[in-house]
Amino acid sequence: MDMGRPEKPVDVSGGAVAEFASRLRCLRIEAGSPTYRDMATSAMYSASVLSSAANGHRLPTLQVALAYVAACNGDREEWRRRWLEAADRAGPRMAQPRPAAARPAPHVPTSRSPEQHAPVARLIPGDPAPHRPFQLPPRPLGLVGRGAELRWLVAAPAGPIVISGPVGVGKSELALHHAHTLAPDKVDGHLYADMGPVPEGGYDVLALLAGFLTALGVPAGQLPAPEQRAGLYRSLLSQRRLLVLLENVHSERQVRPLLVDSATSTTLVVSRSSLLGLRYVHRIRLEPLPRADSLALISRGLPERARAEPTSADRLAALCGDLPLALDIATRKLLARPGISLRWAVNRLDRPEALLNWLDVGDLSMREVLNSAHLQLSDRARDLLDRLARLPHPEVRADDSTLDGVELLIDELIEGGMLRPTETLGSYRLDPLAQAFIKDREPVRDLLPYRSAPFRRTRPRLEVRHSP
């Protein structure tokens, strides 16, 4: 069919439907009368579907109407209101199914079911219904604390969000909890990818894009050229209501092609690093739990023992560095051994090897988690870490003039979850679990005191402050 030919007149007896179709035609004339074939290129609907939207026989779906409007550079919000008015006046016989209500503001969770929302326009021409992947892992149960962080996430403006923090701090649990809170509003689906560990030769983001596009309905045989995949992916996110969760991200280049500023879709990025190389993202960094929340987590798993031995519960929280992952593993081990008291356990966990052996259950291991973070450190950062670990209560200051490049090293160790700030401004202390990990490695590692380039500018001896 030649979409450039004049259209048949709209039947004026069609009431609200005919009036809506006439307005669509006027909008198209104001836009310079583009052909429906040209409009289909940007609207991602076939030319015949767009032509039918303005024939006056039946009110088009809201998604098709808004795609038509967008192709003619119209105001989508204004036309959404017009469509709702026409749907009210047309009645059920002439109108397509109407969405229950207008969508809520971005990032504000609702109690409505997915069926009550109207999905945003289909972007795969000829697809009879949008593909709706639901790839999120199960919702974590019993999240303890993090009230301030959850409130920040709910109130965050539209745009990608980076959730960062040290190993074992509960980034994934918080991200998943928030993702499931948002999920009912993201009616076009949920995408998920674990981005780590990085494969040899680098992470294949093009393969991930191909997987996501296929999940969203692009036939495998019709995937665009590799250099065009990110553009189509961003188009999908900008016009659909999608949730994307990317876990264990190691570097900016892994996710940069996957980020889009969308008012309808949300991308959550979980990383140990703050990924400061990314622009136009919102960031929140998690710290270890306050001691009260750590004790609440222990009490949830071991209510009777925590109530009977509060001092030992507090000591267990300290040994675990107030890290949710370590606390979760420890309470699981104790729950499986009801005859062990908290006092007996903590008295035997003061040795680094014993502590790390205890914090190991199934495929969860604090030793492996810490080792993965340690492997990502530079040689100079590892050298400083080894020297700090030999001291009982070590601190390092950001203004220490005896350390060459100390601020960069401190930043690297903080990002790696190995250092924590103390109560003194500019002073940092070795994380307790990191210290246990380094001490546990000493029998099998090279103990040469200066195996990498010396830190001293003038003197070869490294001075590290002791906490009182």
pLDDT one-digit tens code per residue, 57-82:
888 887 788 888 888 888 887 888 88
User: Higher pLDDT residue, 458 or 381?
Assistant: 381
Decide if pLDDT at 392 tops 90: no
Nearest Cα residue to 209 out of 251, 269, 259: 259
pLDDT mean across residues, the chain: 78
Distance of CA 164 to the CA centre of its chain: 10
**How far, in Å, are 329, 349, 373 from residue 297 at the CA level?**
11, 19, 25
d(CA 22, CA 43): 19
Confidence of residue 6 (pLDDT cuts 50, 70, 90): low
Output the pLDDT for position 103.
Answer: 36
d(CA 462, CA 468): 19
Output the pLDDT for position 139.
Answer: 86
Decide if pLDDT at 161 tops 50: yes
Three-state DSSP class for residue 111: coil
Output the pLDDT for position 448.
Answer: 36
Confidence of residue 390 (pLDDT cuts 50, 70, 90): confident
* Burial call 268-289: b when 16+ CB within 10 Å, e when fewer: bbbbbbbbeebeebebbbbebb
Decide if pLDDT at 396 tops 90: no
User: Higher pLDDT residue, 446 or 346?
Assistant: 346
Answer for the pair 453, 381: CB distance below 8 angstroms, yes or no. Answer: no
Three-state DSSP class for residue 143: coil
Nearest Cα residue to 27 out of 79, 63, 64: 79
Nearest Cα residue to 193 out of 149, 233, 137, 143: 137
Output the pLDDT for position 219.
Answer: 85
Decide if pLDDT at 229 tops 70: yes
Residues 6+ apart with CB under 8 A from 394: 388, 429, 430, 435, 464, 465, 466, 467
d(CA 225, CA 461): 57
Range with lowest mean pLDDT among 82-91, 110-119, 138-147, 296-305: 110-119
- SS3 of 274-316: the string is CCCCCCCCEEEECCCCCHHHHHHHHHHHCHHHHHHCHHHHHHH
Nearest Cα residue to 22 out of 32, 8, 34: 8
Decide if pLDDT at 405 tops 50: yes
For tokens 């103990």, the residue is 447
Answer for the pair 301, 345: CB distance below 8 angstroms, yes or no. Answer: no
Nearest Cα residue to 281 out of 246, 316, 313, 305: 246
Confidence of residue 93 (pLDDT cuts 50, 70, 90): very low
Decide if pLDDT at 378 tops 60: yes
Dihedral angle computed from the Cα positions of residues 356, 358, 360 and 361, in that order, rounded to the nearest 10 degrees: 180
Confidence of residue 409 (pLDDT cuts 50, 70, 90): confident
Q: What is the DSSP letter of 134?
A: B
Give the count of alpha carbons within 13 A of 121, CB side only: 27
Output the pLDDT for position 5.
Answer: 53
Average pLDDT over residues 414-439: 83
Decide if pLDDT at 135 tops 60: yes
d(CA 235, CA 359): 45
Q: Which helix (H) or strand (E) holds 357?
A: helix 352-358
Tell me the two tokens of residue 393: 């209560």
Q: Which of 87-91, 280-284, 447-451 has the highest mean pLDDT?
A: 280-284
Decide if pLDDT at 299 tops 70: yes
Answer for the pair 331, 302: CB distance below 8 angstroms, yes or no. Answer: yes
Range with lowest mean pLDDT among 18-27, 39-48, 159-168: 39-48
Helices 366-375 and 324-335 cross at an angle (nearest 10°) of 160
Average pLDDT over residues 240-245: 91
